[in-house]
Structure 1
């Protein structure tokens, strides 16, 4: 397997960037397979140190998942880890990120309230595992359909679920951006977990609320449809998504990370330099061009 991916981070109308993202490949000693882990995080608005919290969450999550999955796969070389084992691994990694953010907040009075959303996906074999807290989202474009894989942890989503709020009015609600779970939560931290089957040609999208607050699923699906049909490259799709958010007057940083696992012939797993970069992280950049491996 190789990987097509692209990413983009823009400040939007804000002076600072609190979004962060990262992606890594993990070599598994099982039939020469690889796994892909991707994370996107958005520092909680209005709190000092949001960019510190999101960067720490991304790096802690990726480092923990790479280490744990490599150890787990090495212990059982004949078969891939079970979905239950991977869910446990992701829950532990999210909990470790929460502890790391809380520890840094306790050590620095200027960061005592810092927190971040986080959504993490791990593709192993033909299964996509998802873990998240907050309102950054994961989507899967598969067989001509866009599926939202996450459910926002927000006050407005709680009101919608209770039948007390029309979803069309959620963005203008006074509590529209009040999240109910985050990395940096002092009590009751609990990520949500879900799994989905992957098919050839699927596209995974991670996005912060700078995109999803102003673009509906229909518009996002249109752009990914053109990517699946090869009318847009992965890089072009990332640029189109953030451009559409800007045109829709987003009020926040906007970040997207797209990737598509695709099969290749044996021996083509390396980059042009002959080595596969194990991970990349993007933090506090005004914008980032995409990349392809």
Structure 2
């Protein structure tokens, strides 16, 4: 197992409100956390930082070799719940941070399975022998429009209200987390990213980049950032890659 990530402020923003951490577990397995903060420059930075640190702490302390899939699911979801509570409580104590929040997508790969949990519009993708597929569904206003058949996925990418998120960590005392588990065989690649990339890139093009850099997740992440910057880089860009090698 190999895990890599890269992040960039982009060409327009003055600060990077994205945050990412990743690592390997003893005995095999990999994990990543990707967050995209919101709520003003200070609030977004704080919310995403709290989220990745809180989630990392619980994953590192809670993971054990040969955990059952059910226990892994509980660990991941509880980590996100705890991050939500930490952000919410911090905002209650500082008026300038009130309303801050962050997306979160967590991937944990172990024993031929990929566990994915998310809140917000940061995404996870899986590339295997059958092609590429998006594993998460955005919690966003434009995704609701797509679901109701009012706009297409292509129109959603440039819709003027595409930044409206319908579910986020830290704004409310509780949060609902979407979770799923997928087969993750040798040679498969999982990728998590913020909308600084997906606002510019469709699945077909993403698959081309993955195929071109399938053996080097670090190079893949850097090349995807270069592409987003070339397209305008209007937001922060973060990509994490897990290679099952």
Same fold (TM over 0.5): yes
Which residue of structure 1 aligns with residue 224 of structure 2?
241
CA distance in 2, matches of 1:173, 1:201: 35
Any conservation in 1 of the 2:88–2:173 contact (CA below 8 Å)? no
How big is the alpha-carbon RMSD for the aligned residues of Structure 1 and Structure 2?
Answer: 1.6
Which residue of structure 2 aligns with residue 10 of structure 1?
8
With a CA cutoff of 8 Å and minimum separation of 6, indicate the structure with the bigger relative contact order. Answer: 1
CA distance in 1, matches of 2:158, 2:218: 32
Alpha-carbon deviation of 1:146?
A: 1.3
CA distance in 2, matches of 1:213, 1:136: 11
Equivalences for residues 144-163 of structure 1 within 5 A: 145-163=131-149
Which residue of structure 2 aligns with residue 219 of structure 1?
205
Number of residue equivalences: 244
Equivalences for residues 136-215 of structure 1 within 5 A: 136-143=122-129, 145-215=131-201
SS in 2 for 1:123: strand
Any conservation in 1 of the 2:85–2:173 contact (CA below 8 Å)? no
Say yes or no: does 1:49 pair with 2:48: no
Q: Max radius of gyration: which structure?
A: 1
Runs of 4+ in 1 over 4 A off after TM superposition: 45-48
- The 1:188–1:63 alpha-carbon spacing in structure 2 relative to 1, beyond 3 Å, is closer
CA distance in 1, matches of 2:144, 2:179: 18
CA distance in 2, matches of 1:23, 1:168: 31
Q: Which consecutive residues of structure 2, in runs of 5 or more, have no partner in the other structure?
A: none
CA distance in 1, matches of 2:53, 2:138: 22
CA distance in 2, matches of 1:218, 1:45: 32
Query: TM-score scaled to structure 2, two decimals?
Result: 0.94
Q: 1:15-61: per-residue Cα shift (whole Å, max 9, x none)?
A: 1100110012222xxxxx32221100000264641011101101111
More helix by share: 2
Any conservation in 1 of the 2:121–2:195 contact (CA below 8 Å)? yes
Equivalences for residues 9-48 of structure 1 within 5 A: 9-12=7-10, 13-27=12-26, 33-44=27-38, 46=40, 48=42
CA distance in 2, matches of 1:237, 1:65: 25
Any conservation in 2 of the 1:140–1:204 contact (CA below 8 Å)? yes
Any conservation in 2 of the 1:48–1:113 contact (CA below 8 Å)? no
Any conservation in 1 of the 2:5–2:22 contact (CA below 8 Å)? no
Which residue of structure 1 aligns with residue 237 of structure 2?
254
SS in 1 for 2:149: coil
CA distance in 1, matches of 2:93, 2:30: 33
